Amino acid sequence: MLSVTLVSVPETGSARVPTRAELGVWRSFLRAHARLTRVLEAELIAEQRLSLAAYDVLVQLAEAPQYRLRMTELADAVLLSRSGVTRLVDRLERAGLVLRERADGDGRGVVAVLTSQGLGRLRVASGTHLAGVVRHFAETFDHGELEAFGRTCDRLGAADEP
């Protein structure tokens, strides 16, 4: 069995490779993330016929000023490619949950706008999603663990910011 800790690091890479313990924690984090997103998405689809990505788009628009975001900002907010967001917004637009408009003062810019139907759908779907977040995530921690995990995630999330 080949250990990945024995694989040489390319010259452009880090000066060290992760330890077995670090790799174990990394893989555990990836498994937990994958499991949680699968479970939350399955519940949203079963109960609301809405994917987790679609729910995220509706949330981002609901939290934006005037319920609108440029498509590029939306892609950054939901961590999808621009083409992925375009296809998803196409589907949401056909369902009447989102519409597209030209950006004010910019003939080339396009904004996605949450419709009243989209806001209503989000309100209903939020019950399913937030109950799942509590059941599958929040209730697995005690208060101190949750705070520590939040600080860790904040630090990890800020690592790529300038």
Residues 72-90 pLDDT 10s: 999 999 978 889 999 999 9
List, for residues 19-68, the tens digit of each pLDDT value: 999 999 999 999 999 999 999 999 999 999 999 999 999 999 999 999 99
Question: pTM (2 decimals)?
Answer: 0.84
Structural tokens at position 66 = 């005037």
Calculate the alpha carbon distances from 21 to 9, 25, 28, 33, 151 in Å: 18, 6, 10, 18, 21
User: Hey, which bits of the chain come out as E strands?
Assistant: 68-70, 98-102, 110-114
The answer for 14, left when phi > 0, alpha when psi is -120 to 50, beta otherwise, is beta
Cβ(59)–Cβ(122) below 8 Å: yes
Q: Is the pLDDT at 140 greater than 80, yes or no?
A: yes
Tokens 């949330």 belong to 59
Query: What residue ranges define each of the domains in the chain, with the CATH number in brackets?
Result: 23-147 (1.10.10.10)
